[in-house]
Amino acid sequence: MKRNTLALLLASGLLGAASADASDVYFVNNAGEVRSFTGITAGATPIDGNAFGDGNLETTVAAYGAYQGFTSTPDGIVYGVNGAGGVDSWSSIASWLAGDAATVESAGGTYSAGSGLDGGLHGVSYDGNTGGIYAVVEGTSGANNNPDRDGRLRQFATLSDFINNVNFTENTVVGYGANILNFYYEDEDAPASVTPNADAEAGSNYFQITGTGLLEGWTVLEGDGFGYFGGPADPGGNGGGSNRSYQNAITFGDDVIGAFAVVTVPFIPADLDRDGDVDDADFGLAFAAFTGPDNGPSSNPAADLDNDGDVDDADFGLAFAAFTGPGAAAGVPEPASLALLGLGGLMIARRRRA
């Protein structure tokens, strides 16, 4: 290993590997053009202030233009929902860009449009905060689609559930019937929107493109504040978009059909700040989320590691068992002194990086 590479690894590890770097984002339009951007706000071709046509043209694969959406998981595999409602995959982003033949994960019909309850998708994405997949579903006015599900959020805990369209939970807000695509962005360096929420916190993870071609972001998928699917009392309302935390300065384009941001941090349940390790910062978040036995729900449901509705000693036990020390994502060995610091940090409720 070159010395400067080692120095870089050490530096990133000691800084806790909480990346503020940009992450590449790939968009596909209905002609199958694939264009890349170097991040939301950073790099030579950031999305902020730009439109689809300003991105770097990677390739054109005409067949991709007929897909309903694409996403990618931390292992680099690309998943696409095709026009016939089946789920396809490619072993790497490079293979996807090369237009290689896809592996069939599920047959056509799984997400076929016009089939009522199991109609097509507006957008689909991997979720780095849960390790699952979420989608905004289409609907029809048919008897099989009562109540109207058009624009609802559907969440799948596992990849297998997504591929087969089973065991999902569905948010009852019908807010995004014109949604075109969705993607999870792990780096959280998107700024707050200028309007209408100039006071919104920075750190958007969840992006969509509206039917009119606007790129918008929210800090959380569901919940109070700047949640993509929020509650009636949230700023701006119930998921109609006015509680967003980010909006691109110009119209991005209404001919895009899918997009994903490259995700590099593997999902670890106890890694509550999603920076790839389980260290004192994560214990601080768990401590701040404490409810006591059977006293949920917690202010931070992600800290309920045993999924029984509360955050208590049992959950702390699971977090301790998963301890890696700072910078585990960069493969840096844990110095003993930092490990001790990490345990001491349990009593310090650190504020989550937004």
User: Interface with Ca ion by CB under 5 A: which residues?
Assistant: 16, 271, 273, 275, 277, 279, 281-282, 293, 304, 306, 308, 310, 312, 314-315, 326
Question: Which residues face 28 on adjacent strands?
Answer: 34, 258
Q: Is the Cβ of residue 105 or residue 279 nearer to Ca ion in the bound state?
A: 279
Return d(Cα 241, Cα 155) in angstroms, integer: 19
Q: Is the Cβ of residue 224 or residue 308 nearer to Ca ion in the bound state?
A: 308
**Closest distance of CB 293 from Ca ion, Å:** 5
> Is residue 228 classed as helix, strand or coil in its secondary structure?
strand
**Closest distance of CB 126 from Ca ion, Å:** 18
Q: Which helix (H) or strand (E) holds 159?
A: helix 159-164
**Closest distance of CB 341 from Ca ion, Å:** 12
CB neighbour list of residue 157: distance below 8 Å, 6 or more residues apart: 130, 131, 132, 167
> Is residue 345 classed as helix, strand or coil in its secondary structure?
helix
Q: Is the Cβ of residue 153 or residue 328 nearer to Ca ion in the bound state?
A: 328
Q: Which helix (H) or strand (E) holds 2?
A: none
Q: Is the Cβ of residue 118 or residue 277 nearer to Ca ion in the bound state?
A: 277
Which residues of the chain form beta strands (DSSP E)? 25-29, 33-37, 56-60, 69-72, 78-81, 87-90, 103-106, 121-126, 133-137, 152-156, 169-170, 181-184, 206-209, 215-218, 220-222, 227-229, 246-247, 256-261
Name the residue number minimizing CB distance to Ca ion. 16
Q: Is the Cβ of residue 150 or residue 304 nearer to Ca ion in the bound state?
A: 304
**Closest distance of CB 13 from Ca ion, Å:** 9
**Closest distance of CB 74 from Ca ion, Å:** 14
Of 79, 77, 98, 75, give the one whose Cα is nearest residue 87: 79
Q: Is the Cβ of residue 186 or residue 216 nearer to Ca ion in the bound state?
A: 186
Return d(Cα 48, Cα 191) in angstroms, integer: 9
Q: Is the Cβ of residue 150 or residue 273 nearer to Ca ion in the bound state?
A: 273
Note whether 138 and 113 are within 8 A (CB): yes
**Closest distance of CB 315 from Ca ion, Å:** 4
**Closest distance of CB 279 from Ca ion, Å:** 4
